[in-house]
Amino acid sequence: MDRIEKALDRLSTKERARVRTILAQLAQWRLYGLNMQKLHGQHDIFRIRKGDIRIIFRVTQLREIFLLAVERRSEKTYRDF
């Protein structure tokens, strides 16, 4: 089981459903209404905020999306990015 799956398992059922909905929107490039922001100092890493959940991902020049983290907001959330 990878890190993203473990993070999803730690969420409540309601939060997990919310994250899956956001990921489905992201996969279809339906970005309207998502609280998305580029991370400071990064040119290709973004975050989506939903409550205290953060979805961090990278977008390549070929418009490929790589999911990097799904975490609750804490002091350590953005440290590695």
Tens of pLDDT, residues 22-46: 999 999 998 888 999 999 988 899 9
pTM of the model as a whole: 0.83
Given this model, what pLDDT does residue 81 score?
62
Alpha-carbon gap, residue 73 to 64, rounded angstroms:
25
Mean pLDDT of 7-16: 92
DSSP secondary structure code for residue 39 in this structure:
P
Domains of the chain, start order: 3-72 (3.30.2310.20)
